[in-house]
């Protein structure tokens, strides 16, 4: 046991028992961050804030929400929206945060791609990040179902039906997931469990892992420069703060982050107050009706690109059925970015504007994703179907063919 002496202060009392100062230094005070990073690196802290907003508003909503197919719709649209004081606020904050968090996740991820932050020792940061994206998708989807409106219901119907594509056990699997022959009360209650209990626990665990993965290779920077963090930290600690290339997370980096968080939260509050509608689908204000499909089904904006890839393959190719091709392509799209470190065969870590081929590739990918997103919302008929097809193929080709080729060329050119 540690040698305990009479404490000289409250802080000392805790230091002797749970080494508070040491913990603080490890977590923030001596956690080193490079100096040359800009606001794009603030997304991580903004995401943490948004997740906290979702968590807290979620707690307030759960107090009045009723996970029952007969009560759910009214508990949201009547009790929470009309009766509970400030219930509307929590609901709109929850919905807007759920939508905006995907915007920030996408920015966060594509900044990572642009600066090559997924390679050369930083693979685990990338992979745990992608894992977070995947679980966040499941969290968003299970939450989307809970108000039990028409779009909730049919989104659940379509997404659970996707598992019917699994060979042999498909139909049984769909029934098992739904707990009924069609999406109904048991489906609602199990998704409720996933949304408010299991998935949040998993999310929090992966968030912690994601933070931890930053510890060893450290965060990348604007130039992709390799920094000797120990050396620079020593410089900083010895008083040469000016020449050191790093600053401690607290107070240096976080204070700047807080400024961006403030900007962001003003924007967020504006959305919640004046434009919450974009996170709400009008069709979802009709109660779920198992006997009538809405004429046009589409997911929230952040899943549109994957949805369009699902729809993109609308004709059979050889022995492959269109539906299976689409489902396969979408399943792949969902996990495709996990393998970024594998597609990129060059070990240059530099921002895209310093890697010509990669730069062009990056913007092509962004344009393709925007096209997929736009067309994912449009009806899949005639000409639109073909655009969907070509942009889906383009997505697969950009990742699986173009990126390896240009990065291998880059590697050869560098020799």
Partner 1 sequence: MSVKKQERRDFIGMAFGAVAAVGGAFALVGMKKSWDPLPSVKAAGFTTVDLSPMQAGEFRQVEWRKKPIFIIKKNADMKPNPARDVVIGEDKYMVAIGLCTHLGCIPSWSPSDMMFKCACHGGEFDASGVNTFGPPPRPLDIPPFKIDGTKLVLGEEGPEYKKLAGIA
Residue among 351, 362, 364 at smallest CA distance from 115: 351
Residues 157-176 that bind partner 1 (CB under 8 A): 157-158, 161-162, 164, 175-176
Interface mask (CB under 8 A) for partner 1, residues 355-384, using x and -?
------------------------xxx---
**Sole binder of partner 1 in the list 2, 10, 181, 239 (CB under 8 A):** 181
**Sole binder of partner 1 in the list 26, 59, 169, 182 (CB under 8 A):** 182
Classified as helix, coil or strand, 169 is coil
184 binds partner 1 (CB under 8 A): yes
Residues 231-250 that bind partner 1 (CB under 8 A): none
Q: Which is nearer to partner 1, 202 or 366 (CB)?
A: 202
Instruction: Give the interface size with partner 1 as a residue count (CB under 8 A).
Output: 37
**Sole binder of partner 1 in the list 105, 177, 369, 399 (CB under 8 A):** 177
Output the six-digit token pair for 38: 């800009």
Dihedral sign for Cα 258, 219, 139, 103, please: positive
Q: Which is nearer to partner 1, 80 or 330 (CB)?
A: 330
Strand partners of residue 75: none
Pairing status of strand 246-248 against strand 32-34: antiparallel
Helix-strand-coil percent breakdown of the chain, rounded to 5? Answer: 70, 0, 25
State the Cα angle at 108 between 245 and 59, rounded to 5°: 115
Q: Which is nearer to partner 1, 12 or 175 (CB)?
A: 175
Output the six-digit token pair for 240: 């040469």
Q: How many CB atoms lie within 10 A of CB 353?
A: 10
Q: Which is nearer to partner 1, 215 or 292 (CB)?
A: 292
Q: Which is nearer to partner 1, 294 or 404 (CB)?
A: 294
Interface mask (CB under 8 A) for partner 1, residues 383-412, using x and -?
--x---------------------------
Half-sphere exposure of 156 (CA within 13 A, CB side): 34
138 binds partner 1 (CB under 8 A): no
Q: Which is nearer to partner 1, 172 or 237 (CB)?
A: 172
Residues 261-320 that bind partner 1 (CB under 8 A): 290-297, 311, 313-314
Asked if 391 and 143 count as a contact pair (C-beta separation under 8 A), the reply is no
Contacts of 295 (CB under 8 A, 6+ apart): none
Q: Which is nearer to partner 1, 198 or 402 (CB)?
A: 198
DSSP E strand stretches across 115-156? none
Q: How far is the CB of 324 from partner 1 (least distance, A)?
A: 7
**Residue corresponding to tokens 């434009």:** 275
334 binds partner 1 (CB under 8 A): no
Q: How far is the CB of 310 from partner 1 (least distance, A)?
A: 8
Q: How far is the CB of 20 from partner 1 (least distance, A)?
A: 37
Torsion of CA 192, 195, 198, 202, to 10 degrees: 170
Residue among 360, 355, 15, 300 at smallest CA distance from 159: 300
Residues forming contacts to partner 1 in the complex (CB under 8 A) are 154, 157-158, 161-162, 164, 175-182, 184, 186, 190, 290-297, 311, 313-314, 321-324, 326, 379-381, 385
């Amino acid at each position: 046991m540690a040698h305990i002496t009479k404490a000289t202060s409250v802080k000392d009392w805790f230091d002797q028992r749970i080494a508070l100062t040491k913990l603080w230094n490890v977590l923030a005070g001596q956690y080193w961050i490079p100096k040359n990073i800009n606001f794009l690196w603030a997304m991580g802290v903004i995401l943490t804030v948004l997740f906290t907003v979702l968590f807290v508003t979620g707690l307030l909503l759960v107090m009045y929400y009723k996970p029952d197919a007969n009560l759910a719709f009214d508990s949201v649209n009547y009790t929470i929206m009309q009766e509970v004081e400030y219930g509307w606020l929590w609901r709109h904050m929850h919905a807007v945060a759920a939508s905006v968090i995907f915007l920030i996740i996408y920015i966060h991820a594509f900044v990572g791609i642009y600066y090559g932050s997924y390679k050369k020792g930083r693979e685990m940061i990338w992979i745990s990040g992608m894992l977070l994206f995947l679980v966040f998708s499941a969290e968003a989807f299970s939450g989307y179902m809970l108000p039990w409106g028409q779009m909730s219901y049919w989104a659940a119907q379509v997404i659970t039906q996707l598992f019917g594509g699994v060979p042999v056990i498909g139909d049984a699997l769909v029934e098992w997931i739904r707990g009924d022959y069609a999406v109904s009360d048991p489906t609602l209650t199990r998704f409720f469990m996933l949304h408010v209990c299991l998935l949040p626990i998993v999310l929090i665990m992966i968030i912690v892992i994601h933070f931890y993965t930053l510890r060893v290779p450290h965060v990348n920077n604007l130039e992709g420069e390799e920094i000797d963090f120990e050396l620079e930290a020593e410089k900083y600690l010895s008083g040469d703060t000016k020449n050191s290339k790093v600053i401690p997370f607290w107070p240096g980096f976080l204070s700047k982050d807080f400024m961006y968080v403030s900007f962001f939260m003003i924007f967020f509050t504006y959305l919640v107050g004046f434009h919450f509608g974009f996170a709400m689908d009008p069709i979802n204000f009709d109660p779920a009706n198992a006997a009538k499909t809405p004429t046009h089904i589409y997911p929230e904006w952040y899943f549109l690109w994957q949805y369009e890839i699902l729809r993109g393959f609308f004709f059979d190719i050889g022995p492959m059925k269109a539906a299976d091709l689409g489902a396969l392509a979408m399943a792949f799209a969902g996990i495709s970015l996990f393998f970024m470190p594998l597609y990129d065969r060059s070990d240059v870590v530099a921002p895209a504007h310093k890697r010509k081929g990669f730069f062009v590739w990056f913007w092509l990918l962004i344009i393709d994703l925007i096209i997929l997103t736009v067309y994912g919302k449009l009806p899949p008929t005639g000409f639109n179907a073909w655009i969907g097809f070509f942009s889906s193929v383009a997505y697969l080709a950009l990742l699986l063919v173009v990126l390896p080729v240009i990065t291998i060329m880059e590697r050869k050119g560098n020799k």
